[in-house]
A and B are shown apart, each in its own frame.
Chain A
Amino acid sequence: MKATTRDVNGIAIIKVDGKITIGAGDQQLRDVIANANSKNILLDLSGVTTIDSSGIGELVGSYTTATNKGGKLKLLHLPAKLNELLHVTQLITVFEVYENEQEALDSF
């Protein structure tokens, strides 16, 4: 997993590429979120190639981490299969998901 962070108007946009799977990216994602400079995070998942239940768990944990800091974590550009995994576990009701970066930024 590779994560690239940029700051726009005080919001950390974190683009994640590669796998978020058990032993390969799950812990990394947790660390990236914990070390973000902003409490508000937009997670761009367009580059995620594979995710499993551990990766889904890390997304949930990241959401909780941001919320506990008084911020928000929102998702941008969900790949179709990740979207499916969030739907079947009903987690899609938890996350705010955007397809347009500007709309997502304006929502914070």
Chain B
Amino acid sequence: MERDGERIEITISSRFENIELVQVIAEHLCENAGMDEDGSHWIGMAVREAVANAIKHGNKLDVTKKVNATFELNGHDLSITISDEGTGFDPEKVSDPLNPQNLMKTSGRGIFYMRTFMDHIRYSFDTGSGTSLVMTKNLAKGTGLASGKA
């Protein structure tokens, strides 16, 4: 099923318990667009990781700061933008969790999961206006994971 021009936007305060609200929207949007349950789950997981990073690393758990999520669906092309009010970071400095030296680290896998489950992810930083992450996915392509081939 192709759905043109679908746009959903939600703004949450920086509380971990709000992550699932955004994740559920992502999963329902994907399922309504015809993606199977597993594929929708993995996209929801990418969204979960992005929102968690925005709350923890972007807004530093400051509940007065907001995280905005925008979902835009055009045909099979899903674009998800997650924005926070933080000061940004250098994505190049995030270590590769598959490097044997990093394998036993207890953190640092969130962006890797986003990259695994989505087609493209791109961060942008505007001085004074926070960090934006844009993740895109062609829903017709599936996830490429064993349990998520659509």
Contacts and interface: CB of A to CB of B under 8 A. Distances in A.
Q: Which of A22, A24, A58, A80 has the most CB of B within 10 A?
A: A22
B103 A94 contact: yes
Nearest to A91: B103
Contact of B147 (A22, A53, A58, A84): A84
B17 interface: yes
Q: How large is the interface on A (under 10, 10 to 19, 20 to 34, 35 or more residues)?
A: 20 to 34
B98 interface: yes
B145 A88 contact: yes
B118 to A, nearest CB: 13
Given A80-B147, A81-B147, A88-B116, A57 B106 contact: yes
Contacts of A10: none
A63 B97 CA distance: 17
Contacts of B48: 21, 52
A35 interface: no
A20 B127 CA distance: 35
A102 interface: no
B110 A53 contact: yes
A49 to B, nearest CB: 11
A32 interface: no
A56 interface: yes
Nearest to B97: A89
Contacts of A52: 45, 48-49, 52, 110
Contacts of B103: 90-91, 94
Contact of A90 (B49, B98, B145, B148): B98
Interface of A: 21-24, 52-54, 56-58, 60-61, 63-64, 80-81, 84-85, 87-91, 94
A-B pairs, 3 with minimum CB distance: A23-B16, A57-B106, A53-B109
